Structure 1
Amino acid sequence: MGVGNELKCDDGVGPYIIRKLKDKNIENDKLLFIDAQTVPENFTGKIRKENPSHLIIVDACLMDSEPGDMKIVNKYDFANIGISTHSMSLSFFVRFLEQDNDMRIIFVGIEPESMDYADAPTEKVELAANDFVNILEGIIL
């Protein structure tokens, strides 16, 4: 699941990654790529219906590191990082999905360089996003 606002430069890294994965045509009956934009809560029904074993959420987040740095963020650390521009708290979203469900939720944060209005990620964040897509593709295939 990619989360973020594509009109705010690096904040759109989550949807950017989902678009790149879809372009690779590797989605199948065991994989579902969700471009949640800024409203991941709109997909809770679909996620619960699919009942996945794993959910990977990728989003821009302020982790006080270098632009393009990626980190798996512990759900208990959500309060200590700045997560982009969605309407619902991701910590609440994750807790809601975990109710009555044993899926493994992994949150991958990518440090943004710019959150200004622009329709594409900065070079450093785009490189990190493409690296992440390649890593996922290697795991999937």
Structure 2
Amino acid sequence: MGVGNELKCDDGVGPYIIRRLKGEIIENENLLFIDGQTVPENFTGKIRKEKPTHLIIVDACLMDSNPGDIKIVDKDDFVNIGISTHSMSLSFFVKYLEKDTDFKIIFVGIEPKSMDYKDRPTEEIAMAANEFVKILKGIIA
């Protein structure tokens, strides 16, 4: 699941990654790509219906690191990172999904360079996102 606002430059890195994956890997009964934009909570029913073994959430987040740094973020650290363009906090979203489910949720944060209004990620973030896509393809393809 990619999360973020595509009109705010690097905040759109999650949806950017999902578009890339959809263009390069065919979805099947074991693989689903969700572009959650700024409303990932709209997909809780679909996620629960699919009963996944894993859910990987990718989003731009302020982790006080270098632009393009990619980090798996522990759900308990959500309060220490900046994720602010979504209508529901991702912490609450993850807690809701974990209720009465047993799948593993992995949150991947990518440090943004710019959150200005622009309809595509900066070059550094696009390069990091493309590298992440390669890594995912190597794991799931």
> TM over 0.5: same fold?
yes
**TM superposition shift of 1:60:** 0.2
**TM superposition shift of 1:28:** 1.2
Q: Is residue 12 of structure 2 the alignment partner of residue 44 of structure 1?
A: no
**TM superposition shift of 1:26:** 2.6
Q: Deviations over 1:28-48 (max 9, x none)?
A: 110000000000000000000
Whole-Å Cα distance in 2 between the matches of residues 36 and 54 of structure 1? 16
Give the structure 2 partner of residue 58 of structure 1.
58
Matched residue type, 1:107: F
Give the structure 2 partner of residue 82 of structure 1.
82
Q: Is residue 110 of structure 2 the alignment partner of residue 133 of structure 1?
A: no
User: 1:69–1:128: 8 Å Cα contact kept in structure 2?
Assistant: yes
Listed as ranges, the matches of 1:11-22 within 5 Å are: 11-22=11-22
Whole-Å Cα distance in 2 between the matches of residues 7 and 21 of structure 1? 20
User: 1:60–1:84: 8 Å Cα contact kept in structure 2?
Assistant: no
Consecutive aligned runs of 4 or more in structure 1 exceeding 4 Å deviation: none
Give the structure 2 partner of residue 72 of structure 1.
72
Matched residue type, 2:45: G
Q: Gaps spanning 5+ residues in structure 1: where?
A: none
Matched residue type, 2:62: L
Q: Deviations over 1:99-132 (max 9, x none)?
A: 0101100000000000000011001100000000
- Kindly tell me the number of residue pairs found equivalent between the two proteins: 141
User: 1:4–1:84: 8 Å Cα contact kept in structure 2?
Assistant: no
Could you tell me the TM-score, scaled by structure 2's length?
Answer: 0.99
Matched residue type, 1:102: D
Could you tell me the TM-score, scaled by structure 1's length?
Answer: 0.99
Give the structure 2 partner of residue 92 of structure 1.
92
Structure 1 residues 84 and 124: CA distance shift in structure 2, 3 A: farther
| CA RMSD in angstroms, aligned pairs only | 0.6
User: 1:11–1:84: 8 Å Cα contact kept in structure 2?
Assistant: no
Q: Gaps spanning 5+ residues in structure 2: where?
A: none
Matched residue type, 1:72: I
